[in-house]
Amino acid sequence: MNLIEPQQIILIKTYLHESGLFYLAKTLGNLLKAEGHTVIYVPKSKYLLDGSIFYRDYLEPSDPDILKGEAVHWFDKRHPIENQVSNAITKYNASVMISFETLMEKSQWLSRVKQRNGIRIIDVPMVEWVNERFLAGRSYSVFDEIWCLTNQCQEYFKNYSSAKKVKWDWIDHNLFFPVEREEGSIRFYHAGSLNSEYSSKNTELVLEAFEIFLKGNPEANLVVSGKITDRKSLRIIEKHNNISVIDGVLERKDVAKLYQQSHCILAPSSREGLGLSLYEAQACNSLVVTTDLPPMNEFNTKYLCKTSLIKQDQKLTPMGILTAKEIAKQIQCVYGDLICQKSK
């Protein structure tokens, strides 16, 4: 495959705590190390809200084992990012930096680092966080390459000659693999968000849809993970014994186990950058319900929820508005197919 010229020392800039972005970056890091490169991880900053003010921090993982065996160079939030990146480049004699989901609003350091260190910098954008102003203003020209992971991303960056479609194996196959499921009722799983204020996972609609579905299928079960504060959702959960909730951060092995135990994953998001969880669930032989909107509908599943409205807000990517009735329809389709398989 060889995405990078042989024998390079590469910095990968990503979140270094439990997040889809880190797990995606780690699969790339594993591939690059297998190809003979040296990989050092450096942290992507997280902007957190304190009252009405955002501040920058570098979050560490709840489970330090996720970084076990990896070369990591930590930054200090008190010092300018460009100095710390330059110091890391000099220390390791790095020739390439791959930056995941670069925040262009705070990207002035990029050109100064390139001038100072002469390093090749590659961006891996997640388009739901791309600001149209920076895209149209040619700000991404600072990158030597732009790696687009989806057709949607490639379309948005089509006017950049440095953009190209890139794909590698995004699955950690040591964790995500099929196992024989126990006999019993059909099980569904929905991974909600731990940050309900900024979630596009549509957990409230999933619960409402599952309640509609349960009226004719009382034997099915649903597990939901994440932070649930919506009163209507809490009432639905309280009413049904076959809906259970896991509140808190799940370890990766627990997520994999939920995929392996579940016949189907309910992931009808309003928008995604890639939808890594869809591919991880598929690796565990779980069926997937998702949204008929890019990039989700680039994933190979026939269980696609039609949107009732496409809403354009301040973000580049439109948001798909769904209904509980449409999600329930796809849940019913999955259930019918699984019943047919069981009867054969």
Domains and CATH numbers, the chain: 9-165 (3.40.50.2000), 187-343 (3.40.50.2000)
Q: How far is the C-alpha of 114 from the C-alpha of 191, rounded, in Å?
A: 39
Which pLDDT does position 160 carry in this prediction? 97
- pLDDT band at 340, cuts 50/70/90? confident
Question: What is the number of other CB atoms lying within 10 angstroms of the CB of residue 237?
Answer: 18
Mean pLDDT of 217-231: 90
Supply the Cα-derived Rg of the chain in whole angstroms. Answer: 21
DSSP 127: G
Which pLDDT does position 51 carry in this prediction? 76
Reported residue count of the chain is 344
- pLDDT band at 342, cuts 50/70/90? confident
Sequence-distant (6+) residues with CB within 8 A of 283 are 171, 173, 176, 177, 178, 259
Residue in the block written with tokens 């301040």 = 314
Q: How far is the C-alpha of 178 from the C-alpha of 242, rounded, in Å?
A: 24
* Bridge pairing between strands 163-165 and 145-148: parallel
CA distances from 92 to 11, 37, 108 (A): 9, 13, 23
Residue 197 has pLDDT above 60, yes or no: no
Mean pLDDT of 75-99: 95
**What is the percent of the chain with per-residue pLDDT over 90, rounded to a whole number?**
78
Pair 34, 120: CB distance under 8 Å:
no
Residue 217's nearest CA partner among 275, 263, 278, 270 is 263
Among 30-34, 215-219, 220-224, name the one with the lowest average pLDDT.
215-219
Which pLDDT does position 198 carry in this prediction? 60
Q: What is the pLDDT of residues 101-118, one digit of tens each?
A: 999 988 899 999 999 999
Q: Enumerate the β-bridge partners of residue 287.
A: 264
Residue 313 has pLDDT above 60, yes or no: yes
Q: What is the pLDDT of residues 139-188, one digit of tens each?
A: 999 999 999 999 999 999 999 999 999 999 999 999 999 999 888 889 99
Q: How far is the C-alpha of 205 from the C-alpha of 185, rounded, in Å?
A: 22
Pair 327, 206: CB distance under 8 Å:
yes
Sequence-distant (6+) residues with CB within 8 A of 76 are 58, 84
Mean per-residue pLDDT over the chain, rounded: 92
Q: How far is the C-alpha of 75 from the C-alpha of 109, rounded, in Å?
A: 14
* Bridge pairing between strands 264-266 and 287-291: parallel
Backbone angles phi, psi at 301, to 5 degrees: -145, 150
Residue 16's nearest CA partner among 65, 58, 75 is 58
Instruction: Please spell the DSSP secondary structure of 154-199, one letter per residue.
Output: HHHTTT-TTEEE-------TTT----PPPSSS-EEEEE--S-GGG-
Sequence-distant (6+) residues with CB within 8 A of 125 are 101, 102, 140, 146, 148, 153, 157, 273
Q: What is the pLDDT of residues 4-61, one digit of tens each?
A: 989 999 999 999 998 899 999 999 999 999 999 999 999 999 887 777 777 788 999 9
Which pLDDT does position 225 carry in this prediction? 93
Give the torsion through C-alpha atoms of 275, 214, 245, 342, to 10 deg.
-70
